Amino acid sequence: MFTTKTYTKDFKYFKEKYDENMERMFAAVSDLYAEYWNDFFHFALFKDENESWESAFRNTHKKYLEALRIKDASKVLEMACGRGGFTNVLAENTSGEVLGIDISRSQLSHTKRFKRPNLRFKHHDIMKVDELGETFDAAVFMDADCYLPDKKLAVEKISKVMNPGGRFLLLGWCKQSGLNSMQEELVLYPFMKYWGIPSLETPENYKKYFEQSGFKIVEITDLNNQVRRDWDFGYESALAGIKKLSFKDLPRLIWKGMRLGGDGIRLIKEQFPAAIYIKVGFDVGFLRYVYFLVEKK
Ligand SMILES: C[S@@+](CC[C@H](N)C(=O)[O-])C[C@H]1O[C@@H](n2cnc3c(N)ncnc32)[C@H](O)[C@@H]1O
In eight-state DSSP terms, residue 43 is: P
What total of structural domains would you count in the chain?
1
Which among 146, 197, 202, 143 has a CA at the least distance from the CA of 176?
A: 202
The answer to whether the CB of 43 is under 6 A from ligand 1 is no
Ligand 1 atom showing the smallest separation from residue 127 Cα: 19
Ligand 1 atom showing the smallest separation from residue 104 Cα: 25
CB 159 within 8 A of CB 296: yes
pLDDT tens across the length of the chain (297 residues): 677 788 999 999 999 999 999 999 999 999 989 988 889 999 999 999 999 999 999 999 999 999 999 999 999 999 999 999 999 999 999 999 999 999 999 999 999 999 999 999 999 999 999 999 999 999 999 999 999 999 999 999 999 999 999 999 999 999 999 999 999 999 999 999 999 999 999 999 999 999 999 999 999 999 999 999 999 998 998 888 888 888 888 888 899 998 898 899 999 999 899 999 999 999 999 999 999 999 999
Question: Vertex 94, ends 90 and 100: CA angle to 5°?
Answer: 35
What's the CATH code of the domain at 284? 3.40.50.150
- Kindly give the interhelix angle for 18-36 and 228-244, rounded to the nearest 10 degrees: 80
d(CA 99, CA 17): 25
| pLDDT recorded at residue 1 | 61
The answer to whether the CB of 87 is under 6 A from ligand 1 is no
The answer to whether the CB of 27 is under 6 A from ligand 1 is no
d(CA 218, CA 287): 23
The answer to whether the CB of 126 is under 6 A from ligand 1 is yes
Domain hosting residue 175, numbered range: 4-296
Question: Vertex 115, ends 135 and 130: CA angle to 5°?
Answer: 20
Q: How far is the centre of ligand 1, averaged over its atoms, from the C-alpha of 1 (Å)?
A: 33
The answer to whether the CB of 132 is under 6 A from ligand 1 is no
